[in-house]
Amino acid sequence: MSKRDYYEILNVSRDTSAADIKKAYRRTAMKHHPDRNPDNDEAEEKFKEANEAFEVLSDKQKRARYDQFGHAGVEGQTSAGTADFSDIFGDVFGDIFGGGRSNRSHVRKGADLRYNLELSLEEAVQGTSVKIRIPTTVSCASCNGSGAREGTKAVECSTCGGHGQVRMQQGFFSVQQTCPRCQGSGKQIKHPCRACHGRGATDETKTLSVKVPAGVDTGDRIRLTGEGQAGVHGGPSGDLYVEMAVRRHHIFQRDGRDLHCEMPISFVDAALGGELEVPTLDGRVKLKIPAETQTGKLFRLRNKGVASLRGGSSGDLLCRVIVETPVHLTKRQKEIMGEFQKIQEVEGKRQSPRKSSWFDGVKKFVDGLHV
């Protein structure tokens, strides 16, 4: 094998750290690996050079002798390209796949839960307190969440030796995989708790009281800390998120902090004016209707809307007038309406300005088509 400078083979400088040498080796070895370059003698030779260089430079003592005496300092101490590739690649790929001691803690926080809470508009606007029942897991009281029987404790996993991962050999490559026995925890329970069978948690249904503040809307969430799933092997419990869903109301529609409603009134009240009772979420209030009120007019009732979750004044209630045409008229009513129609034909333009203006516009438009 060519005795090129080991640092040159890995394309690093002499003061490169051990971690960076490992990274450089990984790049070089992956580039020239025989599986990627079949029937390529040059790539195979470079692959062997990279292995020999890494074998020396990754060993602190060999690297020191090489730096001082060159190739003569490590003569006979290298495997000349026939090193145990599984150990070398296993160490390198351990960096990629999380090799070495498992990064997964034996003690883990429990999962978060979500509960969909349906509310009426009144409950959402005014606030309420409700009780909910949720299926969940709680820390086992018998073993305090450890999963081990009283007087015992979890021991190092016999399959992975506490690493949480096992090495699978595939040709030259050694790939790290999660240990199938301990599921990556690195621990093994020899004597499981009789109450939870080693889970560290038991299934329960619990009742919680949820205080819903005034002003919530669909999509808002309330977080109940520690009311989620129990932690794994004594870890902290997750959280419970209660998500609001407000039902449709038969009178009011919500728009942020404001409420809207349609208010039908008779054409007599619209023409002569009057005083009506209007429903709000706080009860009924009286609203004065001025004479000659038209369909579509909005009446604003201040602070009769929704309270703000972030403080400040409440929104308003906006009532839109709908003038209702009378139906099922009696004979006498029809006679009176006929008399009214005859009188209005004389006073039409003055009493129905919008109607007169509209028909004048239509006439001008039609006449213009025949010019």
Q: Report the C-alpha gap between 111 and 327 in whole angstroms.
A: 61
Please, which residues bridge with residue 208 across strands? 132
Give me 172's structure tokens.
């030259």
Least confident residue range of 74-78, 90-94, 186-190, 210-214: 90-94
- Residue 149: pLDDT over 50: yes
The SS3 call for residue 271 is helix
Q: Could you give all domains of the chain from N- to C-terminal order, each with its CATH number?
A: 6-83 (1.10.287.110), 113-246 (2.10.230.10), 253-324 (2.60.260.20), 331-369 (no CATH)
Q: Report the C-alpha gap between 15 and 35 in whole angstroms.
A: 32
Contact 295, 269 (CB under 8 A): no
Q: Report the C-alpha gap between 115 and 210 in whole angstroms.
A: 11
Instruction: Identify the residue with better confidence: 124 or 231.
Output: 124
Residues 6+ apart with CB under 8 A from 249: 120, 121
CA distances from 94 to 22, 157, 161 (A): 11, 19, 16
Beta-carbon neighbour count of residue 57 at 10 Å?
Answer: 25
Q: Report the C-alpha gap between 9 and 55 in whole angstroms.
A: 12
The candidate with the shortest Cα–Cα distance to 163, out of 93, 84, 233, 106, is: 106
On the CB side of 119, CA atoms within 13 Å amount to: 30
Q: Report the C-alpha gap between 126 and 115 in whole angstroms.
A: 21
Least confident residue range of 134-138, 165-169, 212-216: 165-169
How confident is the model over 309-367, as pLDDT tens digits? 877 788 999 999 999 988 899 999 999 989 888 887 776 666 666 666 766 776 676 66
- What's the mean pLDDT when you consider all of the chain? 81
pLDDT level of residue 85 (50, 70, 90 thresholds): very low
On the CB side of 204, CA atoms within 13 Å amount to: 16
Task: Return the pLDDT at 4.
Answer: 83
Give me 233's structure tokens.
């092997």
DSSP state of 352: -
On the CB side of 107, CA atoms within 13 Å amount to: 9
CA distances from 64 to 54, 55, 61, 78, 315 (A): 13, 13, 5, 14, 77
How confident is the model over 152-163, as pLDDT tens digits? 888 888 778 777
Task: Return the pLDDT at 344.
Answer: 77
Q: Report the C-alpha gap between 301 and 315 in whole angstroms.
A: 9
SS3 content of the chain, % helix, strand, coil (to 5): 30, 25, 45
The candidate with the shortest Cα–Cα distance to 263, out of 249, 277, 274, is: 277
Least confident residue range of 81-90, 221-230, 268-277: 81-90
Biggest CA-to-CA distance, the chain? 126
CA distances from 69 to 15, 59, 63, 296 (A): 16, 15, 10, 97
Beta-carbon neighbour count of residue 109 at 10 Å?
Answer: 16
In terms of DSSP bridges, do strands 187-188 and 240-246 run parallel, antiparallel, or are they unpaired?
Answer: unpaired
The percent of residues above 70 in pLDDT, for the chain, comes to 82
Q: Which residues of 229-248 are buried (b: 16+ CB within 10 A; e: fewer)?
A: bbbbbbbbbbbbbbebebee
In what helix (H) or strand (E) does residue 289 lie, and over which residues does it extend?
strand 283-289
DSSP state of 290: P
pLDDT level of residue 239 (50, 70, 90 thresholds): very high
The candidate with the shortest Cα–Cα distance to 25, out of 99, 75, 85, 77, is: 85
Least confident residue range of 77-81, 243-247, 254-258: 77-81
Contact 243, 195 (CB under 8 A): no
